[in-house]
Amino acid sequence: MSGTLLIGDVHGCADELSELLQHVQPHRVILLGDLFSRGPDPVGVWSLIEAWEAEAVLGNHDVDVLKGRKPAKKLPPEAIAWLGERPLWIEDRDWIAVHAGIHPKGLKKTPKRLATGQRTLKGTPWYKRYRGDKLVVHGHAAARTVRDRRPYTLGLDTGCVRGGTLTGWIPEKNRIVTVPALRDWTR
């Protein structure tokens, strides 16, 4: 087993998630939201969540699944119930896991819309304004590469569902790991 693994937006890409988990063999798994929508195998993602006892934060697509705005593609009722119990963030000694972002003044000032989906504050990306003591590890803002603004923020959504990669970070080793997407699932 290899520490904690925080993973960017999975979006139903179960094969890629399985490969990343098998490669790293973490003892703790934290998914950064947007778990089931868009990709080919949300039920497979749910099976992996159960098998690895994964934790997760709530993302904007997860909110849409819970509100019925995105299809749940045969997810069992227990998966939907579990999703509805996800927190907006998970805080550790040295880092904060969140889907979209946090307020520059900290978690107490962070509304649900910022934690799950908002990208900017007064026209500026939130991560350009954040200067807190803890590293904020987030997803949501898909890019072809990791958005590495350490020591302040680390963006792990590298567009797996769009043919990019699925990316994770192992904090105990300060190591970034990736697996390539099998294909672009949005086409």
What tens digit of pLDDT does each residue of 118-173 get?
988 889 999 999 999 999 999 998 888 999 999 999 999 999 999 999 999 999 99
Exposed (0-12), middle (13-18) or buried (19+): which is 24, by Cβ within 10 Å?
A: buried
Q: Name which of 57, 55, 35 is nearest 138 in CA terms.
A: 57
17, two tokens: 């998630």
pLDDT score of 73 = 76
| More confident: 51 or 73 | 51
pLDDT score of 144 = 87
pLDDT score of 121 = 86
Residues belonging to the chain: 187
186 is a domain residue:
no
- What percent of the chain shows pLDDT beyond 70? 99
120 is a domain residue:
yes
CB 147, CB 139: distance < 8 Å: no
pLDDT score of 69 = 87
21 is a domain residue:
yes
158 is a domain residue:
yes
Which residue reads 């778990």 in tokens?
35
Average pLDDT over residues 22-32: 98
74 is a domain residue:
yes
pTM of this prediction?
A: 0.96
| Residue 71 pLDDT exceeds 80 | no
Range of the domain at 173: 4-180
- Please give the distance of CA 95 from its chain centroid, rounded to a whole number: 14
38 is a domain residue:
yes
Strand (E) or helix (H) holding 6: strand 4-7
| Residue 1 pLDDT exceeds 70 | no
pLDDT score of 136 = 98
58 is a domain residue:
yes
Q: What is the CATH number of the domain that holds 23?
A: 3.60.21.10
Angstrom distance (rounded) from CA 140 to CA 157: 6
- What percent of the chain shows pLDDT beyond 90? 88
Task: Give 89-127 pLDDT, tens digit per residue.
Answer: 999 999 999 999 999 999 999 999 999 999 888 899 999
Which residue reads 């803002």 in tokens?
141
157 is a domain residue:
yes
What is the total count of domains within the chain? 1
